[in-house]
Amino acid sequence: MTVSDIAVSSAGAQARRSLEAASPRYGEKAIRAFLFLCAVLSVATTTAIVLSLLLPSISFFEEVSIVEFLTGTRWAPAFADAHFGVLPIVVGSLVIVVVGLLVAVPVGLASAIYLSEYAPRRVRRVVKPSLEMLAGIPTVAIGLFAALYLTPTLQDALPFLPWEGRFSSAVAGVAVGLLIVPLIASVSDDAMRSVPQGLREGAHALGASKLRVSLRVVFPAAISGIVASIVLAMSRAIGETMVVLMAAGAGTRDLTFNPWGSIQTVTAYIGSTATGDIATGTIQYDSIFAAGAVLFVLTFAVNMVAIRLVRRYREVYE
């Protein structure tokens, strides 16, 4: 073995001893860059959403004053005598949300408390997945059910109510409530089950009845998760389009709280207007985007509250 051979092999050994990679590993870096781009795509999506809402909205507000938009009580962009007050459709969305929550909160929470505190394991193993499965029912199917079955049936069953025509915002709200029940039940159930078992055992050891343990110990301990589930359901109800479009119609232009007749929501306006062939650049086309911006701001605010609450509740129990 020559001296130079030894020098080479010892240099190799020294290089090996370092913990650095032997090669620059460009492939690894390229993969990492690609994965980063995948993650950044979500930020790009949000940016694109904001831009696609903002740019047409700017040209919309060049023609319509913001004050009229926010305070006007008549929404009729397609008429010769056009009005652009957004309040009627915002109130329409709120009516749907309120009716939906009136149905979904008691039903959803009762299901959640039963599943988490009372249900035998075998019942739970069947009911929980079926609830989750029902959460995946296409909204068109629910809208069809509400428009063709629920409305006529309720109108026959309760003829003394002042129904107006074949659309009813109350029925649409009930259908939306049915839609968000699985969401509330499932998320609240998770929140209550993550309450440490020791709290329950402690309360039972002090002699508390099951009712007290559920309502006074577990429920308050899980309250942030429960509220978060309700807030998430609220944002889902605000954004629901098909059920509202099919069961509440999209006809009303004036401010109304009437639950027995047709009502127009922000989503239904967007859905019904965009289906027609409207030319780009018209004020009616731009009004879709202005309404979309209102919807985005509404749900964004609600979502931020929900994310905050979920985060706080996670900090407590992990």
Partner 1 sequence: MAAPETTPGAARTQLAVAGARAATEGMFTASSRDRARGAVFLALLLFGLAIALTGLAAIFVWTLVRAWPRLDLDLITNGPSTLRPETAGFHTAILGSAYIIAGVIALIVPLGVGAAVYLEEYADNTRWWNRLIELNIQNLAAVPSIVFGILGLGFIVRGPISIGFVPAAASLTIALLVLPTVILAAREAIRAVPPSIREGALALGATPWQAISRQVLPAAAPGILTGVILAVSRAIGEAAPLLLVGAVTFATFDPSYFESGYTTLPTLVFNYATRPQEELRTLAAAGAILMLAFVLVMNSFAIWLRNRFEQRW
CA torsion angle for 28, 29, 33, 39 (degrees, to 10)?
A: 50
- Mark the segment that binds partner 1 (CB under 8 A) among 10-18, 80-88, 129-137, 216-224: 129-137
CB of 299 to partner 1, least distance (A): 6
What tokens does 112 get?
Answer: 């959640």
Residue-by-residue DSSP string for 133-168? HHTTS-HHHHHHHIIIIIHHHHHHH-TTS---TT--
- CA distances 92 to 202, 228, 230, 256, 298, Å, are 47, 23, 19, 8, 13
Interface positions, 145-204, toward partner 1 (CB under 8 A): 145, 147-149, 178, 181-182, 185
The contact mask relative to partner 1 for 70-109 (x = CB under 8 A, - = no) is: ------------------------------------xxxx
| 292 contacts partner 1 (rule: CB under 8 A) | yes
CB of 204 to partner 1, least distance (A): 10
- Return the residue of 6, 55, 70, 158 that touches partner 1, per CB under 8 A: 55
- Return the residue of 168, 169, 229, 241 that touches partner 1, per CB under 8 A: 241
CB of 45 to partner 1, least distance (A): 5
CB of 51 to partner 1, least distance (A): 7
Q: Which DSSP category does 254 fall into?
A: B
| 1 contacts partner 1 (rule: CB under 8 A) | no
| 141 contacts partner 1 (rule: CB under 8 A) | yes
- What is the rounded CA–CA span in Å between residue 147 and residue 89? 20
- Return the residue of 144, 199, 223, 255 that touches partner 1, per CB under 8 A: 144
CB of 5 to partner 1, least distance (A): 26
- What is the rounded CA–CA span in Å between residue 315 and residue 318? 6
| 208 contacts partner 1 (rule: CB under 8 A) | yes
Residue 74 β-bridge partners: 254
Instruction: Tell me the one-letter amino acid at 214.
Output: S
- Return the residue of 31, 58, 161, 316 that touches partner 1, per CB under 8 A: 31
CB of 194 to partner 1, least distance (A): 15
- Return the residue of 191, 230, 246, 309 that touches partner 1, per CB under 8 A: 246
Residue-by-residue DSSP string for 54-77? HHHHHHHHHHS-HHHHHH-SBEET
- Return the residue of 221, 242, 248, 263 that touches partner 1, per CB under 8 A: 242
- CA distances 183 to 81, 177, 280, Å, are 42, 10, 38
